[in-house]
Amino acid sequence: MNKWKRAFFALLTLIVLVCVGLSVLFYNLFVVHTSQQNNINETHHVGEPIFSVNANKQRLTDMINNEIQDHQNDQLTYQVQLTNDVTLTGDLKVLGMGIPFTMSFDPKVTGSGDIILKEKSVTLGRVNLPDEQVLQFIDNGTNFPDWVVIQASKKQIYVNLNEMPLNDQFYLKAKDIQLQKDKINFDVYQK
């Protein structure tokens, strides 16, 4: 056999071996990944958090204000500051004039892991309005996400964390909020 034929068959054999080796390698990776994924799904316990998140006031303030930017409009601009309370400050446009307002809330965690922001104090420029009226103005002046509900008659804002769009597979529940201690904990659950 001439040396060119031998070299051709050797190269052809090498190519076939590499293709078979790569096929076996990819098949093993896929099978191992799938079986590991099945094991993960089998060990998931329904109703138990898959992990917890601890936040501090400053980082949570930044995250909330970034989200708020998507829901501002010409009638109402506002921002949140977490100190010992949840403070909402901004400007409400009435008859073309911007009226500054400040609202202070006390956050409470519900049994279902949602958050109720109970109103503590309200100032709206120099105008004396009932607390319910200010919340109603804010509700009418902006388009909060569906999972944030202004309950003016109860003087509170209800934050339904279960409805907050995180991901199709996960949802949040508040576990503990103690702003004075800079302690803010959430649990993440799998749907």
DSSP string, 25-94: HHHHHHHHHHHHHHHHHHHPPTTS-SEEEEE-HHHHHHHHHHHHGGG--SSEEEEEEESSSEEEEEEEEE
Sign of CA dihedral 32, 38, 39, 44: positive
pLDDT score for 69 = 77
Averaged pLDDT in 10-residue chunks for the chain of 191 residues? 62 59 54 47 64 87 81 77 90 78 90 92 73 76 78 90 79 90 89 81
pLDDT score for 67 = 76
Would you give the end-to-end CA distance of the chain in angstroms?
67
pLDDT score for 21 = 57
pLDDT score for 48 = 83
pLDDT score for 59 = 86
pLDDT score for 100 = 87
pLDDT score for 24 = 54
Q: Which two tokens stand for residue 88?
A: 């909402």
What whole-number distance in Å separates Cα of residue 132 and Cα of residue 139?
10
pLDDT score for 74 = 73
pLDDT score for 33 = 46
The answer to whether residues 124 and 99 touch, using CB atoms and an 8 Å cutoff, is yes
